[in-house]
Amino acid sequence: MTIKSLSRNIENDFPFLKGVVYLDSAATSQMPAQVCEAMSEHYKLGASNVHRGVYEWSVRATDRFEDTRKKVAEFIGAGDERECIFTGGTTDALNTVAQSWGETNIAEGDTVVVTLMEHHSNLLPWMQLAERKKAKLLWWEVTDEGELDMAQLPAILAAQPKLVALTWVSNVLGTINPVESLIPQLKEHGATVVLDGAQGVPHLPTDVKKLGADFLAFSAHKMMGPTGIGVLWGKKELLEAMPPCRFGGSMILSVRQDRVRWAELPHKFEGGTPNISGVHGLGAAVDYLQSVGMDKVRAHELELTTYAFEQLSQLENLIIYGPQDPAKRSGVLSFDFHGIHPHDLATLIGREGICARAGHHCCQPLLKKFGRQGTTRASFYLYNTRADVDALVAALKKAHEVFKEVL
C-alpha cells in the first residue's frame, strides 16, 4: 500500500487535520473519529464503574473494559490477557516495575544497566532505585551514529547485570534497537529486561514472545488512543511474584484487621477506579490499527521517512541526528538547522501550520552526548503524507530566510 492510497483511505477519520501539518506524533498522536466515539459512548449510554456492579450499565462497561484487555493481549502477542495491566501510561508502568519488582529483587552490589538513549521515564526510576539499594549503575553508551555501542556489549554481559532498562525505539534519534537479537544474550547472563515500547508498539508489529523481554510498557496516546491510559505487560510468573505497590479499592481479595489477601492478576496492580473511558478508547485504537495492519503502518512510515531524508538532505546546514539509513529508524527526525535555536525554529515553522516539537525530549543525557541542549523534532504517523514533508521543507526554507541576516 502506497503512502498516497493509505492516506486517502484514512483521511476522513481525521477531519480536524485538514489544513494542519501535524508532525508531533512521537509526543502524542491524533485520535480517529472511531476512538472519540468509543470514549463518548461510555458517557452517552450511561456511565458506570466496572467490576462488581450487577446492573446493565456496569455489566456493559465491565465487558467492554475486559474485552479491551483481550484485544491488547492479542495485539502484542501475549498468551494470557491477565499479563496485561492497565496503567496511567508508559511512565506509570515503568515506575510500577521499579517500585515492585525492583524493590523486591535489586540488592546492594547488583548491577543495573541503562542505555544513554533512554527517555527519562526509563532512566530516573532505575537511577533512584540504584541509589536507594546501593546498586551499581552501568551506562550503555551510544555511538556517534546514534546506535547502541555494540563494542561495549561484552563488558555489559561480563558485569552480570540484574536488570537492563532498554528502549525499543529512541524518541529522539528514531533508532530501532535490535532487541530481538540483544535480549536473548542479556537473559543468558541473568538479566531481567524492561523494554520501553512507547515508540515501538504504535509503529512496529509487536510480538512479546519474539521480543523476549520480561516487561514491556507502552501508552495509548502514542497509538491513536487517549492520554492517561497505558499498559504494562509482564511475564505471568514475574507478575504473580511481585507485590502490589498501589493500595486501595479493587486490588484485594479480603482485608482483615490482622492480614490482607491481594487480588489475582491483573487486578492486584489496578487499585482504585480505573480510567474506564480511556480503556474503551484504547480498545478502539487497537481495532483501528488492526484494521490497517501494522505491517502496512511500518511500510508507510518507512517510505515517508525515506522521502523526508531525500528532501531534507537538499537543505544546506541541516543535520539529522541518528542513523542515516531510514531502514534502521522510525519516523522520528530530530534535527539542527543553521544553528537556529530549536524553539525559535519550531515557532517559525509553526506559523506556517507545522506542528513540530522543540526541546530536550526528556533525554538530556543523550543530547549532551551530541553537544546539544535541544533539537527540533518532526515525527510521522500513518495519517502523514509526502505533502506534509514538502510543507515542512518549505517552512524550513522560509525560517532560514527570516534568520539569514543574523546567522
3-state secondary structure of 176: strand
Q: How far is residue 263's CA from residue 114's CA, in Å, rounded to a whole number?
A: 32
What residues does 378 pair with on adjacent strands? 333
**Contact indicator for 200, 332 with CB cutoff of 8 Å:** no
What would you measure as the largest C-alpha separation in the chain, in angstroms?
A: 75
Cα–Cα nearest to 67, from 295, 276, 240, 232: 276
Cis omega (within 30 of 0) on the bond before 266?
yes
**C-alpha cell, 100:** 515492585
Catalytic residue among 36, 84, 245, 362: 362
**Contact indicator for 156, 112 with CB cutoff of 8 Å:** no
Q: What angle do CA 31, 36, 40 make, to 5 degrees?
A: 160
For 293, residues 6+ apart whose C-beta sits below 8 A from its C-beta are none
Bridge-based pairing of strands 21-22 and 111-115 is: unpaired
Could you give the dihedral angle defined by the CA atoms of residues 335, 340, 341 and 347, in that order, rounded to the nearest 10 degrees? -90
3-state secondary structure of 27: coil
**C-alpha cell, 111:** 548491577
Cα–Cα nearest to 149, from 135, 159, 139, 134: 139
With left for phi above 0 and alpha for psi between -120 and 50, is residue 63 left, alpha or beta? Answer: alpha
For 84, residues 6+ apart whose C-beta sits below 8 A from its C-beta are 69, 72, 73, 76, 78, 231, 232, 233, 266
Half-sphere CA count of 193, side-chain side, radius 13 A: 24
Say whether 84 is catalytic. no
Cα–Cα nearest to 271, from 283, 260, 285, 280: 260
Active site residues: 362
